[in-house]
Amino acid sequence: MAVMKTLRVFPVIVLLCGLCGCGSTRSSDAKTFLDEAEKKLFDLVLDASQAAWVQSTYITDDSEAVAARANERSIAESVRLAKAAVQFDKAELPADQRRKMNLLKVGLVLAAPSNPAESAEVTRLAASLEGRYGKGKYCPDTKGGAEKPCMDIAAVTRVLATSNNPAEILDAWRGWHTISPPMRKDYQRFVELANKGARELGFKDSGAMWRSKYDLTPDEFAKEVDRLWEQVRPLYVSLHSYVRWKLREKYGASVVPEKGPIPAHLLGNIWAQDWSNTYKLVAPAAADKGYDLTDILKKRNTKPLDMVHYGESFFKSLGFAPLPRTFWDRSMFIKPRDRDVVCHASAWDVDNVEDLRLKMCIDISEEDFTTVHHELGHSFYQRAYNKQSFLLRDSANDGFHEAIGDTIALSVTPEYLVKIGLLNRAPDSSKDIGLLLSRALEKIAFLPFGLMIDQWRWRVFSGEIPPDQYNQAWWDLRLKYQGVAPPVARSEADFDPGAKYHVAANVPYTRYFLSFIMQFQFHKALAKAAGCPAQGADTPLHRCSIYDNKEAGARLNQMLEMGLSRPWQDAMSELTGQRQIDATAILDYFAPLQKWLDEQNKGKPAGW
């Protein structure tokens, strides 16, 4: 998918002030503290969520200021609450109270400093950076020629997705990266203030604070991420090698090197995070996946609202209740013509009870068809855990939320499309390489990008990457993990990280890397629960869909309802029987493709 999907995560997720005295060791005091905290937390999150919704769907200086003030109040209270929770560190508490105390300290995305002026400054910077991204446009320099319209992110995305003209692609890629240099100074200051707030809570820096929320120490979590990358790296290298020589055939030796990194602009996506749009260039004729869902949807005159109804129907087929009426009344499904908005697809739980919303500028395409299914995965997860106490109304870890959305999307198979009437019949097994290659260009191509975003930020937060090396380090890491390089010279006058939404909006990113591995674990377990593949049958995992299977739906819901009430290892075990994130399922899923890629790559260079 060309547009990265995200659950909307506010920097106010854990809020409030200390409500008890200092130094208490009594469980009764802890319960009073937590009960009062959760009660007021509900109100503060609602205020901040509503302000943030307006900020994202009606970008103005005023909406940014209102959202920044709401965040400032919330973050200041949450930092005070996190500090107040320390008084119970030595208390003998029931397991649920101890978990909530820990969550208060590790649940922040942004910890503002206690100094009021600095707290106001960092929250203003956070709102401003996201707003600049949302308003970002590339306005071509006509130099006396015919005037060309400015291009927003949707227009730039279309060029990179559809054009085969290297010059046009390069112009669009370079143009989008002009939106971020003005962010650089503010981002540097933002890092300074965010780190100061994190250190006041006892963390080394903001990156360490982010890594502390996975029921592991920060160092243990970093090692787990490295272990998972080593599991999947050989499959990525095979895909990279294949795509490189196919693009070399298309664009020529002067554009694509035989051995080195692939120029980032040629991979069909602004950030080279998803290579799906190169499928038409790299797929062999015999590997056509057998259908074009975008063409099918357009010929049926599918509307944006129809796309959402398809997604909701999937969940209803599993036994989930329909979405509330307010979802349809309050969501944003198309880009308004009269104002700037953040089009980045996201699922919102505004009141943490039933006010679920989708924010998305829906295009009638296969990509957005899958994205809708993904985003509604967030929505049904959000509603499933709304019976938990307030601090526990979240996914088992942030990777789970993304993984659940994509687990549902993995069931968007040809067989599913037949069942809902979009295909007359599923292509036969001779088309499976095409299906797997298409999916690998989305899923496998993403893995190193999903890893390197926070590898960069963790190093920025820790000071290992100083401000005068922001851009060089960005491209060094992209080379190391992705094997891609900028198509034109870059310098420290640029700020290419800011051209990615999640950097500008301060949204942690390792969750996506984890989710792209966990979703295959989840899919394999749910497919088995649904009886696919059946004992002795030859249906491969990539053809299994859990659509219309109530047993799989019930098993999924059992895990979703747990929310954040127990360590993620317990939730993982509930669904899969495993207590560790493991890439075996994703390797099994793509095993036929791995064999095929290795055959195609014989005699070709591997690596970069």
Torsion, CA 547, CA 552, CA 555, CA 558, rounded to 10: 20
pLDDT computed for residue 537 by the predictor: 64
79, pLDDT greater than 90: no
Q: Return d(Cα 80, Cα 76) in angstroms, integer.
A: 6
Joined together, the tokens standing for residue 539 give: 């249906």
* Mean pLDDT computed over every residue of the chain: 90
- What mean pLDDT do residues 477-501 have? 97
Lowest mean pLDDT, pick from 103-112, 271-280, 559-568: 103-112
**27: closest CA among 117, 82, 119, 90?**
90
The pTM for the full model equals: 0.86
d(CA 547, CA 550): 9
| 502's tokens | 């999640």
Highest mean pLDDT among 1-15, 114-128, 307-321, 421-435: 307-321
pLDDT (0 to 100) of residue 144 = 61
Residue 145: pLDDT band by 50, 70, 90 thresholds?
A: low
Q: What does the pLDDT look like over 507-561, one tens digit per residue? A: 999 999 999 999 999 999 999 999 997 765 678 899 999 999 999 999 999 999 9
Q: CB-based contacts of 423: which residues, under 8 Å, 6+ apart?
A: 291, 296, 414, 417
Give the highest mean pLDDT range of 159-168, 394-403, 554-563: 554-563
Amino acid letter at 583? A
| Residue 146: predicted pLDDT | 64
* Residue 594 near residue 587, CB atoms below 8 Å: yes
Q: Is pLDDT above 90 for 367?
A: no
Residue 421 CA, distance from chain mean position: 30
Q: What share of the chain is helix, strand, coil (3-state, %, to 5)?
A: 60, 5, 35
Domain parsing of the chain, residue ranges: 293-438+511-587
Q: What is the pLDDT of residues 1-18, one digit of tens each?
A: 333 333 333 333 322 222
DSSP code for 75: H
What tokens were used for 492?
């420290």
Write out the two tokens for 73.
Answer: 């109040």
Q: What is the pLDDT of residue 6?
A: 35
Give the pLDDT confidence score for residue 536 in this predicted structure.
57
Q: How far apart are CA 235 and CA 242, in angstroms?
A: 11
Q: CB neighbours (10 Å) of residue 430?
A: 11
pLDDT exceeds cutoff 80 at 114 = yes
The predicted pLDDT at position 19 comes to 31
How many Å apart are CA 291 and CA 423, to the nearest integer?
8
Q: Alpha-carbon distance 1 to 277, whole Å?
A: 8
**CB of 256 closer than 8 Å to CB of 244:** yes
Structure-token pair, residue 433? 């390489």
Question: Which amino acid is it at 544?
Answer: C
Contact 589, 413 (CB under 8 A): no
Tokens in use for 503?
């950097």
Q: Catalytic positions, please?
A: 344-345, 374-375, 378, 402, 502, 512
Query: What is residue 265's DSSP assignment?
Result: G
Nearest to 132 by CA among 503, 510, 508: 503
Q: What is the distance between the alpha carbons of residues 530 and 524, in angstroms, rounded to a whole number?
A: 10
